[in-house]
Amino acid sequence: MKRIEIHTDGACKGNPGPGGWGVLLRMGTHEKELSGGEADTTNNRMEMLAVIRAFEALIEPCAVDLYSDSKYVLDGMTKWIHGWQKRGWINASKKPVRNADLWHELIEVSATHEVSWNWVKGHSGNPENERVDQLASDAAAEQARLLEEADD
């Protein structure tokens, strides 16, 4: 099984607002960057979409070391998900789980991989985190620019 290192981040200009996501995939010395965005979204959705798009880029089951500065994504996948599933996608506050559509998608795309979920502190000088943060921020800025152009 191939070992892949994945770094992800999401960004939003306003929350909600124009958003972007960034991914760095690394296998040995080979690297690939991915990014994208949406016109009207939230930061948490962009954090999740980054991870989803990273897994979608893998063409076979892999051992994945995933790094994110999103406690929301990491805690969701390692702590909260089992309770949500047991309670029929109702959270501890007895309300529907937010972003359930993306949680379902994330479960599906990560299922064939052996994943190690790792938290990194954002904006702390971690080179890979800074890199994906820039990709996400640039994608969010592009979405904001497109919206501004559409308003003109």
Active-site positions read 9-10, 47, 69, 123, 133
Strand order across the beta sheet in which 2-12 lies: 30-41, 17-27, 2-12, 62-68, 114-119
How far is residue 104's CA from residue 97's CA, in Å, rounded to a whole number?
Answer: 11
Specify the 3-state DSSP secondary structure of 38. Answer: strand
The H or E element containing residue 80 is none
